[in-house]
Amino acid sequence: MKKHNFSAGPCILPQEVFKEASQAILDFNNSGLSILEISHRSADFVSVMEEARSLALELLGLKDKGYKALFLQGGASMQFLMTAYNLLEKKAAYLNTGTWSSKAIKEAKLFGNVDEVASSKDKNFNYIPKSYAIPSDADYFHCTSNNTIFGTQMKEFPATNIPMVCDMSSDIFSREIDFSKFDLIYAGAQKNMGPAGTTLVVVKEEILGKASREIPSMMDYSVHIGKDSMFNTPAVYAVYVSLLTLRWIKAKGGIKAMEEHNNKKAELIYNEIDRNPLFTGFAAKEDRSAMNATFNLVDESHKETFDKMWKEAGVNGLNGHRSVGGYRASMYNALSLESVQVVVDLMKELENKV
């Protein structure tokens, strides 16, 4: 039985993508070869890479606006240091909204001063700080659009005249944003775009080349841009599956359609969290994430019963992260409204039972 997959990442991808991706392992483009055995320099793969880079920019509305898209390796965690390596000369401004922001800050400190403009650590990151000043003499401002672990999401982004860098790992392609506000966006594929193994980086070329340090080739965005994201062997299969997902997003109506669907799912679960006296939401209401809904049982003694119920119903990955506890429903693009309804029905059932 196919499970209702609420896993936080790696996570659900469209069924159509799984089918096409598995076919390509046996015979890619009727070439008589598997995608796993072809050269990354072959015409077939070069066209996959080109289409993936171009489609990513197209879906984000960033085509012909001075941006380049790259598919790199090392995860979003590598971007924590690579952004600083390339952009941090003296000082950078960081908004600390959770575990991932904190990790980005730690890496950036290896390259220069970090001005933590605001933090929500005082309340275990259950909200997004709102009023803070971004120093205009910083090299860039860094934020995390969606906090996968705590279930908060930035609904607005500050206005600043310095370059904006954003970790969008867990909500890229999930909602319409004016992406042109950002100068560098990165996202590990495995939350909403593809399998683990590749990371999308979208960078405005004009911000590069300003830091004075020597940058090793593999860490240098300009080197990767100069080689069309093929400086070394890319994650061939991960890029291919990401391309299939990007095509799926486009065919479904693009980011706008994803956002409408995601909002319906979020509304459904949050309404139940608020209505059901057995449950309580973790994140501040105005900052709730449409991707990762975090909630707890008011009375922990129901945990065993509820856990048994959802596991028996074929629900996967509903346990919260250890730093929050309780539950986390990750509702990425490919998750259906029906799957969310299953969990909501179980919450109601628990209410009637106890």
Ligand X SMILES: *Cc1c(COP(=O)(O)O)cnc(C)c1O
What is the nearest approach in angstroms of ligand X to the Cβ of residue 92?
17
What is the nearest approach in angstroms of ligand X to the Cβ of residue 191?
5
One DSSP character per residue, 286-339 reads: GGB-SSEEEEEESSGGGHHHHHHHHHHTTEE--BPPTTT-SEEEE--TT--HHH
Q: How far is CA 117 from the centre of its chain?
A: 23
Binding segment for ligand X among 69-77, 89-97, 215-223, 236-244 (CB under 6 A)? 69-77
Q: Indicate if 100 belongs to the active site.
A: yes
HSE at residue 105, side-chain half, CA atoms within 13 A, is 18
Binding segment for ligand X among 17-25, 28-36, 166-174, 229-237 (CB under 6 A)? 166-174
Q: Contact with ligand X (CB under 6 A): which of 4, 9, 83, 108?
A: 9
3-state secondary structure 148-195: CCCCEECCCCCCCCCCEEEECCCCCCCCCCCHHHCCEEEEEHHHCCCC
What is the nearest approach in angstroms of ligand X to the Cβ of residue 168?
8
- Taking Cα atoms as reference points, which of 37, 166, 35 lies closest to residue 95? 166
Q: Any binding-site annotation on 104? A: no
Q: Indicate if 90 belongs to the active site.
A: no
Contact track, ligand X, 177-196, x by CB under 6 A: -----------x--x-----
Q: Does 170 bind ligand X (CB under 6 A)?
A: yes
Q: Contact with ligand X (CB under 6 A): which of 10, 61, 75, 129?
A: 75
Q: Indicate if 167 belongs to the active site.
A: yes
Strand partners, 292: 330
- Taking Cα atoms as reference points, which of 291, 261, 236 lies closest to residue 25? 236
Q: Which residues in 92-131 contact ligand X (CB under 6 A)?
A: 100
Q: For the chain, first and last CA: distance in Å?
A: 28
Q: Does 77 bind ligand X (CB under 6 A)?
A: yes
CB 284 within 8 A of CB 202: no
What is the nearest approach in angstroms of ligand X to the Cβ of residue 56?
16
- Taking Cα atoms as reference points, which of 65, 83, 66 lies closest to residue 74? 83
SS3 content of the chain, % helix, strand, coil (to 5): 40, 15, 40
Binding segment for ligand X among 85-93, 122-130, 167-175, 234-242 (CB under 6 A)? 167-175
Structure tokens at 226: 């100069």
Q: Which is nearer to ligand X, 147 or 350 (CB)?
A: 147
Binding segment for ligand X among 71-79, 245-253, 325-333, 340-348 (CB under 6 A)? 71-79
- Taking Cα atoms as reference points, which of 113, 76, 119 lies closest to residue 95? 119
Q: Contact with ligand X (CB under 6 A): which of 144, 174, 242, 333?
A: 144
Binding residues, by number, are 41, 76-77, 100, 148, 167, 190, 232-233
Catalytic residues: 100, 167, 191
Binding residues for pyridoxal 5'-phosphate, by number, are 76-77, 100, 148, 167, 190, 232-233
